[in-house]
Amino acid sequence: MDLNRQVVHEFRSIVEGGCLAVEASTTSPYFGDALVTLAGRNFKLRVVRDRGDITVDMSRPDADGVRRDDTVALPHDLDDWFPAEWLVAVVGGSPPEPAGTLDIASAAAFVAKNHDGIVAAYTPEAAAGTRARLTDISRILLVEMKQAENRMGRRSGA
């Protein structure tokens, strides 16, 4: 199944309910890479398949996927797109998971269950606070990753 059809299928209750619609869908002939962006009035959701790995990112509704210097960037390099796993932590209050741990069906279930919370997180009044919390999660996970790498390096004698 191509990524566009899979995303529309998994998110069908939200798409059919009019909360999100396919804004863009692209497929590369190389490695099966693809990108599908769903957009709603209050937030955007993007599913990326890169060499078979799936990531689900979310952003405010006016995110354009382009760096401020107008060069296209990789999904997690963008200022305004964050892994859906991190939004789970912001909206649901659970500890953040590393990016790439949600599959498409799990992301769809999360969005359906927490739609009102996601919408609230991306209102104009709350968007800056949401972005700040997501940025904090990014920093915390980066520190944890570096600490784990340091521990592994000490264990291997490097």
Q: Per residue in 94-129, pLDDT tens? A: 766 777 778 899 889 888 888 889 999 998 899 889
C-alpha 60/C-alpha 42 separation (Å) is 7
Give the pLDDT score at 96: 66
Which tokens sit at 51?
A: 């060499």
> Which residue in this structure is represented by tokens 């209750």?
13
C-alpha 4/C-alpha 24 separation (Å) is 9
Give the pLDDT score at 85: 85
Which tokens sit at 45?
A: 């959701």
Distance linking the first and last C-alpha atoms of the chain: 44
Give the pLDDT score at 156: 63
The answer to whether residues 44 and 38 touch, using CB atoms and an 8 Å cutoff, is yes
Please tell me the pTM assigned to this model: 0.77
C-alpha 133/C-alpha 48 separation (Å) is 23
Q: Is the pLDDT of residue 25 over 60?
A: yes
Domain span holding position 55: 3-155
Mean local confidence (pLDDT), 43-70: 77
What is the count of structural domains for the chain? 1
Beta bridge partners, 25, equal 36
Higher pLDDT residue, 99 or 25? 25
Q: Which of 61, 48, 51, 33 is nearest to 118 (CA)?
A: 61
